[in-house]
Amino acid sequence: MANIFGYTIAIIGLIIIALSKKIAEICDLAIITSKDRFLEIQDGAKKNGMTDKRILLCDNPSEILSHITTICKKDDTVLLEGRVPEELIKLLNKD
């Protein structure tokens, strides 16, 4: 929490709003791997035009890999950010 000009603001809330807006703008598919703040991210992304089918909560590395390989084509870029399961990184690095 921060006190700015007499207002108490939850900075994390502002970050979630900005993040969910950007997710809706640029992502074909968002796979969120942690329950922390998922509902807020999902709600914000949906308010900015993203559908339920394009924002998923999944922490199982095999299922995440399945989602990625279903939607992605050769030479597509996948951004992995935050708490990415080590097992997923190993699965993605397999030839």
Per-chain mean pLDDT for the chain: 83
- pLDDT, average across residues 13-29: 89
pLDDT over 70, % of the chain: 86
Give the residue among 52, 45, 56 at the shortest CA–CA distance from 66.
Answer: 56
- pLDDT, average across residues 77-87: 79
- pLDDT, average across residues 88-93: 85
Does position 5 have pLDDT exceeding 60, yes or no? no
Give the residue among 34, 42, 37, 33 at the shortest CA–CA distance from 12.
Answer: 37
Say if strands 7-9 and 2-4 run parallel, antiparallel, or are unpaired: antiparallel
